[in-house]
Amino acid sequence: MNYNPFTDKPAALLMLCVILLLTSCVSAKKYKNMEYERNTAYADKVNAQQRIDNLEGMLKKIKTDTANFGMAYRNLNEQYSTLKASSTLTAQQLSQQLQASRKELRAKEDTLYRKELQLLEREQLVQELQMAIERKELAQRALIESLQAALVGFSAEDLQIERKGGKVYVSLSEKLLFQSGQADVDEQGKMALLKLAEVLNRNPNIDITVEGHTDNVPIKTAVYKDNWDLSVYRATTVARILSEMYGVSTTRILASGRGEFFPVADNGTYEGRARNRRTEIILMPKLDEVYRTLETSANARTFNTVPAVLKPEAPVNTPAAIPEQPEQPEPDNKQPAPQNNLTPNGVNTPQPLFNASPELQPGNNKTDGDNDGGGLN
């Protein structure tokens, strides 16, 4: 009889238990491995999900930043376009303003240069006129000294010399020249006029005016209608004696009568009327030198005017250097003006307007103080 374990119930049951026991031992080990793998996979899933969440957050942030950057970029682009257009307009305006400023500056420099030249010309003119005035002052003092020396023999009551208003006045009393109410010069008067003429002939660069003066006591004769008429006759008589008898050039002499209208004292007293009855010989240096100086200056301003020349405009994109005007030399007081003779101390001493006698030249026979006139003793 064949044994069949599958048909034998106890054997089959035993077999089944053995199989189940063997099977259960293998499944528990696999289970543990699978559980470990499951836990690991779960942890990986959690980590992966966390990374996904982080990446999604970063992606969202990047999208937001990109949108912001795009908006900022568009704003900056718009600002750049605006600034570019504005800068183009501003550059044109600045270029125009720069050109206008350069042109205005050149015009002002040209005006300033002209004014500097005019100032130098005027300073030179003033210097020349000042030297001419100084020469005239020296000449007048020398003339007064010459007249005082020549007329030293006459009293101060009859003859006075003074300087006023840039002129030298030689006042001759009526008693020295004329008889009362007459126009004929007596011998003593002719002697005084001779001394005076000698000085005048040595000084041809002065003009001579002879003025007759009277008091206010009325006069009317067959010859003279009134005091005015008498003063004219006396002035012309003195002028004729100076020219015809003593050789003074007639082109230098002017005779006029002033009558009683220019008194120097009170006609209410005898002494005052005596002082008013006088003949004044007025000596004035010729102003030819001053006129020549002024005329020369006027001609220089007319013909030597510096033309106003503006430099051409510089290109806008390159800075243009402003032209410098040539530096003008400052007037040097130590340098003599043309045609002037200066001594080492800077005093101009050309040919004098008046010629005193040799012993009375300035520097010889000096007197104390500045005696411009007065009577002679």
The architecture (CATH level 2) of 139-290 comes to: 2-Layer Sandwich (3.30)
Inform me whether the pLDDT recorded for 184 exceeds 80. yes
User: Can you give the residue ranges of every domain in the chain?
Assistant: 139-290
Asked whether the predicted pLDDT for residue 47 surpasses 70, the reply is yes
Q: How far apart are CA 199 and CA 281, in angstroms?
A: 13
Q: Kindly give, in sequence order, each residue whose CB lies less than 8 Å from that of residue 133, ignoring residues fewer than 6 positions away.
A: none
Q: What is the pLDDT of residue 274?
A: 93
230: burial class by Cβ within 10 Å (0-12, 13-18, 19+)?
A: buried
> Each residue of 74-128: pLDDT tens digit?
888 888 888 888 778 788 888 888 999 999 999 999 999 999 999 998 898 888 8
Average predicted confidence (pLDDT) for the chain: 78
The span from the CA of 272 to the CA of 367, in Å, is 31
Please, which pLDDT band fits residue 354 given cuts at 50, 70 and 90? very low
Highest average pLDDT, of 271-285, 345-359, 363-377, comes from 271-285
SS3 label, residue 286: coil
Site of tokens 């376009």: 81
Of 4 and 20, more confident: 20
- Condensed to tens digits (0 to 9), the pLDDT of residues 288-318 reads 656 666 666 666 655 554 444 444 444 444 4
Which pLDDT tens digit goes with each residue over 144-163?
888 888 888 888 888 999 98
Question: Given this model, what pLDDT does residue 94 score?
Answer: 87
**Top-confidence residue, 65 or 312:** 65
Predicted local confidence at residue 341, as pLDDT: 40
User: 164 has which bridge partners?
Assistant: 167
Q: Per residue in 344-370, is it b (16+ CB within 10 Å) or e — as a string?
A: eeeebeeebbbbbeeebeeeeeeeeee
